[in-house]
Amino acid sequence: MNLLWCLIYICLIGVEAWSDNKRRKFSNDFKFGVSTSAYQVEGAWNVDGKGESIWDRYFHDNPNVITDGRNGDEACDSYHKYKRDVEMLRELGVDYYRFSISWPRVLPSGFPNEQNKLGFQYYDNLIDELLKYNIMPMVTLYHFDLPQKLQDLGGWANPHSVDWFVDYVRVVFDRYASKVKHWITINQPNSICTSAYGETAMTPDLNKGITEYQCTKNILLAHAMAYRLYQKEYKNKYKGSVGISMSLNWADPVDNSTENVEATEVFRGFNIDLFLNPIWSKNGDFPSIVKKIVAEKSKQQGFSKSRLPVLSPEEIELLRGSADFLGVNHYTTDLVKASAKYIHSPSFENDVGVEIVLDEKRNQSQPSWLRSAPYGLYKLCIYINQNYDYPTIYITENGWSTKTGLWDRSRVENMRLYLNALLLAIEDGTTVKGYTVWSLMDNVEWQAGTSERFGLYEVDFDSRYKKRTARMSALVYKRIIQSRIVEKDWEPRNLYISSQY
């Protein structure tokens, strides 16, 4: 009898070991990183010759739009605290740091005739500090903070913005191509055009309804020209890669009614394919569903031609294949309902014609738009693979917001669930090279100020030194990076309180 129990016991150990081996793991060459953006962390908004950005102007003129009144004038003061930032990256053990360069900090007028030495010095220092510790810099060239002087000329609605961007990018490539091997041209052009030039959730809040597709065309061309510039003049020598990050949440119909299923297809057309199709599809160009809808509506609205500009055959070619990787910024899954409740006409929203319904059953973070729905990341990956033939992907943003507090269990849980969904997507054929948490630390969350905290590190914005302290999620992420597996319930016993400056 004893022998039998013994045998059963041995078998159980065997099964456990076997299932352990089956445990999903991130491969050794998979990279982990964290992300921030210039306006949200640097502060020093008018220090050392930095020019004014559209967010400086917007928040100074409209302090009331910020939930808690805290704008980016000081933010995390990373302009002065970059050594501490790199120390945190070392604590986490990340492979790379995704940050952005502030265009008005280095070219205060927006144009390359005036180059701000001290502004460049900051990025020299940051990049050198990263390289010193073997942390790869992944540089976003543009994360929402246009020089105000260029906005005064129409910003991305002006076709000259393509040249302005390329001129700026050339200066940056010249200076950093030898050190930076991972480039992202533009962060979320789809948010920029549809929010800032369409709805009102972002500055500059221009000519609602008329300019969002002009912005779309110009910003995509600006990206493609920057990509081609790198290919032509830097790629052979420096062997880096250049991609673009899109805001890519998943969308499902709120129920199975034909109306809502169709509305969801339209929604995906405008929010995903409008920006992916020109770069990743075989034939290029804007997706036909979007062309059709905008043309029809424009006609009804009295326009002589579609508000969606035409891409010439040369522009289609320029855009097609103009990225080494797709940066996916993914936070949640929207539930879509067909709706005639339009805010105004003409507008992007009116063209799409849907309403987003919140799923009350899902876990909610601070802002109402952010609900945990990890399966959506899996579905998005499969959708991208099927429609765009398995592009190389970096998840360039994924994250969760909380109130202040170091024991951020909801962030840990959300991160684990999304990483598990990513492992499944990889197992099913998605080419994902890296995963990036938004964000390294709490920062200025645009209009939400510091009322929403996305950081693995908490920032005490009232303290003189903008003290950063590791949250529970920082330690869990560190352990995931080390072990390359996602444990179900490991918790640190104590929070390691890192240095106090």
78 is a site residue for ligand GBH (CB under 6 A) = no
Which of residues 151, 214, 247, 281 is near ligand GBH by CB under 6 A?
247
How many angstroms separate the CA atoms of 74 and 64, rounded?
A: 17
Does 329 participate in catalysis according to the annotation? yes
First to last CA, the chain: 64
| Structural contact between residues 442 and 453, judged by C-beta atoms closer than 8 angstroms | yes
Angle between helices 117-132 and 78-92 (to 10 degrees): 10
Which of residues 26, 32, 34, 37 is near ligand GBH by CB under 6 A?
37
E-assigned strands of 92-135? 96-100
Which residue lies nearer to ligand GBH by CB, 234 or 453? 453
Angle between helices 161-176 and 117-132 (to 10 degrees): 50
How many Cα atoms are found within 13 Å in the side-chain-facing hemisphere of 109? 6
Which residue lies nearer to ligand GBH by CB, 129 or 442? 442
Which residue lies nearer to ligand GBH by CB, 216 or 247? 247
Using CB under 6 A as the criterion, what x/- string covers residues 339-368 for binding ligand GBH?
----------------------------x-
- By beta carbon distance, the residue nearest ligand GBH is 201
Closest separation in Å from C-beta 370 to ligand GBH:
7
What residues contact residue 166 under an 8 Å CB cut-off, 6+ apart? 222, 225, 226, 229
SS3 per residue for 74-85: CCCCHHHHHHHH
Question: What Cα–Cα distance (Å) separates residue 345 from each residue in 54, 204, 210?
Answer: 26, 19, 10
Range in contact with ligand GBH (rule: CB under 6 A) among 118-126, 183-191, 229-237, 275-283: 183-191
What residues contact residue 396 under an 8 Å CB cut-off, 6+ apart? 35, 98, 138, 184, 245, 327, 328, 329, 436
Which of residues 17, 201, 310, 343 is near ligand GBH by CB under 6 A?
201
* The CA-based dihedral angle spanning residues 22, 24, 29, 30, taken in that order and rounded to the nearest 10 degrees: 170
Does 484 participate in catalysis according to the annotation? no
Which residue lies nearer to ligand GBH by CB, 247 or 333? 247
Using CB under 6 A as the criterion, what x/- string covers residues 400-419 for binding ligand GBH?
--------------------
Closest separation in Å from C-beta 191 to ligand GBH:
5
Range in contact with ligand GBH (rule: CB under 6 A) among 113-121, 165-173, 185-193, 456-464: 185-193
> Please, which of residues 425-444 interact with ligand GBH by CB under 6 A?
438
Closest separation in Å from C-beta 208 to ligand GBH:
14
Which residue lies nearer to ligand GBH by CB, 112 or 367? 367
How many Cα atoms are found within 13 Å in the side-chain-facing hemisphere of 47? 16
Which of residues 71, 148, 188, 398 is near ligand GBH by CB under 6 A?
188
How many angstroms separate the CA atoms of 489 and 481, rounded?
A: 16
Closest separation in Å from C-beta 178 to ligand GBH:
28
286 is a site residue for ligand GBH (CB under 6 A) = no
In terms of Cα–Cα distance, which of 481, 466, 446, 480 is closest to 79?
Answer: 466
Token pair recorded at residue 135 = 């942390």
Closest separation in Å from C-beta 108 to ligand GBH:
23
71 is a site residue for ligand GBH (CB under 6 A) = no
445 is a site residue for ligand GBH (CB under 6 A) = yes
Does 87 participate in catalysis according to the annotation? no
Does 386 participate in catalysis according to the annotation? no
Angle between helices 212-233 and 161-176 (to 10 degrees): 30
Which residue lies nearer to ligand GBH by CB, 348 or 438? 438
How many angstroms separate the CA atoms of 459 and 438, rounded?
A: 14
Range in contact with ligand GBH (rule: CB under 6 A) among 99-107, 134-142, 184-192, 383-391: 184-192
Total chain residues near ligand GBH (CB under 6 A): 14
Which residue lies nearer to ligand GBH by CB, 286 or 454? 454
In terms of Cα–Cα distance, which of 92, 112, 115 is closest to 170?
Answer: 112
- Classify the phi-psi angles of 186: left when phi > 0, otherwise alpha if psi is within -120 to 50, otherwise beta: beta
Range in contact with ligand GBH (rule: CB under 6 A) among 59-67, 72-80, 159-167, 187-195: 187-195
Does 191 participate in catalysis according to the annotation? yes
369 is a site residue for ligand GBH (CB under 6 A) = yes
Using CB under 6 A as the criterion, what x/- string covers residues 307-336 for binding ligand GBH?
----------------------x-x-----
The amino acid at residue 360 is E
E-assigned strands of 8-68? 31-35
For every residue of 397-454, DSSP letters joined together read EE---B-S-S--HHHHHHHHHHHHHHHHHHHTT-EEEEEEEE-SB----GGGTTSSB-
Active-site pick, 35, 39, 82, 98: 98
Which active-site residues does the annotation give?
98, 188, 191, 329, 331, 397
List of residues contacting ligand GBH (CB under 6 A): 37, 187-188, 191, 201, 247, 329, 331, 367, 369, 397, 438, 445, 454
